[in-house]
Amino acid sequence: MKMLDIGEVSQTVGIPASTLRYYDEIGLISSVGRHGLRRQFAPDVLLQLALISMGKSAGFSLEDIAGMFGSDGRPDLPRQELHDRADNLDRQIRELTALRDTLRHVADCPAPSHMECPTFRRLVGVMGRRRSKKAKSRSKASAGLR
């Protein structure tokens, strides 16, 4: 099995080696051994890093992400928790869509202040409703509160 050293991984995924070392340190990824001093990574790490990147972009903390997939590929969260997170993502996707539309609107709408523009207010209104607020219970990231 072809191993990668940190430089190759870094090159490939565009993440600094220092960051990869840090991820290794906190157990988010793990090297399969050493060649001399040098960490050797299995190719799977590239997949893991893609996952991590997605997770971060969803606003999850590194700790959360570790819990979802584990550095070994096994999640240590119960199924229900995972489903909940997926549901939160659904909500977040809707919000992002609204934000995207709002941004496009703001870019094109000639109104001097958007607070007065009905279209703007409607777009923002998409997310107006307060959700049940039990959200922050566990890890905070799920509610995008960071």
CA distance 66 to 75: 8
Q: How far is the CB of 95 from a copy of itself (least distance, A)?
A: 5
Beta carbons of 68 and 60 less than 8 angstroms apart: yes
Beta carbons of 47 and 13 less than 8 angstroms apart: no
127's CB contacts (< 8 A; 6+ apart) are 94, 95, 98
Among 17, 22, 119, 144, binds a copy of itself (CB under 8 A): 144
Return the structure tokens found at 136.
């922050």
Does position 53 interact with DNA (CB under 7 A)? The reply is no
Q: Which residues bind DNA (CB under 7 A)?
A: 5-8, 10, 16-19, 21-22, 31, 35-39, 56, 61-63, 145-146
Q: Which residues bind a copy of itself (CB under 8 A)?
A: 13-14, 44, 47, 50-51, 53-59, 68-69, 72-75, 79, 82-83, 85-86, 89-90, 92-93, 95-100, 102-104, 106-108, 112-116, 121, 124, 127-128, 130, 133, 144-146
